[in-house]
Structure 1
Amino acid sequence: MRDSLSLWFIVKNYRIRSVFIKNFFIILSLILLPVTGFSVGIYQLYSKTVTEEISSAHLHSLSRIRDMIDMTIREADNYSIRIASSETLATLMSPSPMHNYDLNVNVLKMSAELNMMDTMRNFVESVYVYSEQNRSVISSQMGRWDLEQFLDQGWLDSYNTNKSQRKAWTVARKAKTFQSESEEKTLITLFRLAPLLETSKLGSVIINIDTARFMNMINQTGSDYIDSVFIIGGDGTILGSNDLTLINRPISDVIPVKDIAEGKPNEPVFVYEDESKQSVSYVHSLYNDWKFVSIAPLKLYEDKAKYIRNYLYISSLFSIVVALIISLVVSWRMYMPIKQIMSVVSRPGEWLEESPPPKRVNEIKYITSSILDSYGEKRELENELRYRLSLLDRAYAIALQSQINPHFLYNTLETINWQAIRLSGGENVVSDMISSLSQLLRFSLEGEDNLVPIRVEIEHCKHYIDIQKIRYPRKVDVQWHLDEKIMNYKIPRITLQPLIENSIYHGIRPMSQEGMITISGQLEGDSIVIRVADNGVGADPDKIERINQELADKNWITANNHIGIRNVNQRIKLTFGDQYGLHMASVPGHGTTVTVRISAIQA
């Protein structure tokens, strides 16, 4: 039995239905779910914070680059405006004929003005002044050339296309500016129509920015957060990039982010490329229609995130171990009261003998005490049942013994009655008494049913009264006041006769005059109440009280006087229940009344 209360037995047999297992998983879930949620929340918050921090630094760096580029392009535009408004340029572009000497002087002046670039010299490849009227080009590096002989003519198509629509514009292109160059250079070319102060434009100032040097300068002023910078023209094509092969390609081919062309600036977005997360930011130029796009790989963020993930993994593993230990301890402590209750249920006898009454009561002790109390009551009932069974065996033995004598007497009385009739030549008083006595004995012996109709019980009583009237002439009279409605209800066999006998022998016989016995009965609710009253000598109140106490004792039984009043009372209680039976009331000198209460059962 003790093995059946062990934890291994419980887990093995009840499995998931076990209270211990259920509590274990519930407690484990209650611990792990908040811890897991807290860890995930910390990781998400950290990721968001770091991402926003890097994105903010990224955007700030891009804004500085934007300001630098805007300042540089503004300087280049101011330079082109100064050249376009120069008198020397206007003279060179004039359609009026010019002497060679004057032409050479003006070309030298123009070349000197073109080379006054100040800080732009670091990234400006060359500057051209193109005279459409003269079909000539003055270069800051190579002087004056006829257009047909000039090496770099890649700008000419853009000039012819845009001169009638714009006064200034920008294109990205590739060109060789010197014959000795083996490869073309990538250039950002700025156009401004000239002369500036004339209504009729006769040419253009063309500034060629070396894209590679310009982007290198941008990268030097950038930050560790930025990996790539793109200069986007108003038409969405790339004007400048660290990767020169991307020039003049749409930015959407390089970075598939719709917001760059249509969305809001100054709001970083995130893209994934080759499983690496990148922050893409862009801002509008504050000077022209350009946009500046930068890409910042979040490698620093990924390294920190990896560190945090590893830390959270270790913390989660530790939390799981701690949660398992706590869950086991708490579940075991919760299971111990249940085990105690199971132990009390399975071995109540040991607990009843070994356990003292609890000094301080809690819920579990209250339950175990209730179980032990119930077990104690059960054991008392079992003892009571065994005692009653012994009484029943004793009563059965007495009943068997009592049947022997009546049978013998009945047979003997029949013989005497036959002899009396034979000797007297017919019936007489003696034969009548013997006949009535025989009927009494026959009634007590015949029939298997213990319950008989009240009508039959009365007939039996009348036989007994006939005998008593012969024995005590003019001594006793009997009056019957029974409701006809109760005649067919059942009553235990030989119930009224012992009561009538008790009235005659203890109440009327000691009197000198004739006595009266009144027998009444009626239906009261679900009970039949019959009263046998006499006007005899009565009895002492103490004796009546003692008799009523004996009548109330359901365990009383004796082998003597078993057909007496006490026997009748016990048979009624055994038949109908403890709430039924006899009750005596007596007044000395005025008589005694015995009340019979039985259950109303139809015959």
Structure 2
Amino acid sequence: MNKNFFRKNLIIFLIPLLIPTLLLGSLSIAITQGYIKNQIAQNNTDLLNQTKSNIDLIFNEIDTLNIQFDYNSNIAFTLKNVLKEETIYSSDLINTDKICFFLNSFANSKPYIYSIHIYYENENGRFYTTNNGITNLNNYFDSSWYKNYLNHPSNEKLWIETRDVKQYDFEEKETKLITVYKRMALNNGVIVLNIKADYIQDLLNKSVTAPEQKIFILDGNNSEIISNKTSNNINNFDINELLKSNTNVIYSTSENKFLSKTIIHSDRFSWNYISIIPEDALYYVSIRLGKYTIILLLVSFILGLILTFYLTRKNYKQISNIISIIDSAKKNQTLPVINSNAKNEFSYIIENLITTFIEQDYLKVQLSERKYKLENMELIALQSQINPHFLYNTLHTIYWEVIKATGSNSKPIRMIENLSSILDYSLTTPCGKVSVGDEIRYTKTYLDIQMIRYADKFDVLWTYNKNVEPVHTIKLLIQPLVENSIYHGIKNKDGKGKIKIKILLKNNLLTLAIIDNGIGIDTQNLKNIRDKLNFDGEYSNHIGLFNTNKRLKLTYGDNYGLLINSKLGLGTVIYIKIPI
């Protein structure tokens, strides 16, 4: 078995077998990736916006507290007096209890609030805190907020930081808090809202939509405030590169993988919400599809290999005969005799089809050559119908004899001169193409003859632009159609007739219309003429019409020819459209 033949067959079998699988797999992967990429990007943006809204809603509780304890003068006055004075009067105590009840109720109704501190500057170091009431900085477990308040620039009214507190010494783990500071505008003091970091983290955990998704919240200094549980430390990433990158995909050298990122900004707290998803987790389905596609390609390749080997071995003898036939045909040798004792119908049919194909191919070449010669001969014959050469010489002789006899430029002399010009024009390169300008001049010469013959019988109106004159077309295109209008339309009309010749060049098409207001054609005769034009019928008495139509089709193809419309008693329109 020929190895080259086996390799060719292998390619022939494998391409139809593998390409659909490869295309289907590739398209599935591409469509899935495109859908996931757009969907995840939109989902991440929506997710971060929703997360930002939820967290902003939590931290905006500081505004409610600020209204009560800074802008409410009664509450502020009462608490300031209580914190400054050593002795608490009963009236102040009643008001303080009401304030304490409100603040404790407010804090206990919000599961995310760890504690609230209300501090008005006083020399006693006192402040109010939820659950403990009025207490002193020196004997309360959470006092680090006070140092942060003192050390913070006085021009900044609102800021947030993370802190760790331990209420009891026996606690092994500190409680992480996200603390919101609101400096009072009307009083010297601060409102401190301590939010449970675990609650915010749970909120982020519930927002995760993809495996290994990491969600970070960074403050204005790009320090991590909180993240979901699956997140690595944000320091593992280049923060500046992460924030400045204009692309949605970055490469993490620490994790050695590509990551898809989404970032939105919170103007209220100058925070950045960042979502990071590994590309391999994002395109998990696409990766699985890719693996399945490779497996299917391998299976298809093995099956194709086995099938190719079997069929090649089985049909090699028959294919060898076919190759022998083709080689003989290429070398113009006699086709070899094929053994008719084929082992199966498939081999027999293939061998006979190849033999028939080669013979028919040779016949087609001969037929095309003969058809070309016939059409060329027919074109010349049609042209010669209106090109009798001897008439030109005879008319030329008559012209000079009449000049000698009359000695003047009479109408007969002009008619003979014009007719000689027409014959001379038609005899020059009978099969070549001429310009539309020559056709117009030739037709006008012909019309001069007819105007003398049919004096005051008809008028001619030409409509064309100069740009049509250089265009080339077949010779004797316009004159036979004008002659047809005169003899079959105007001649038998009562009164004076009119012929309009309109030539237009547009969109690489030359359009010609011959319009007359002659006697017209009745419906049945018009149908007969159209049928003969379409099916190459006998010329009858419209020889110029049929001759021109045939020459147009031979020159430009069967799609081009004459179109004729007519109404009995109204006139006739002949319409031609040909390519330039």
What TM-score, normalized by structure 1, do the two folds share?
A: 0.47
TM-score where L is the length of structure 2: 0.48
The structure having more radius of gyration, on CA atoms, is: 1
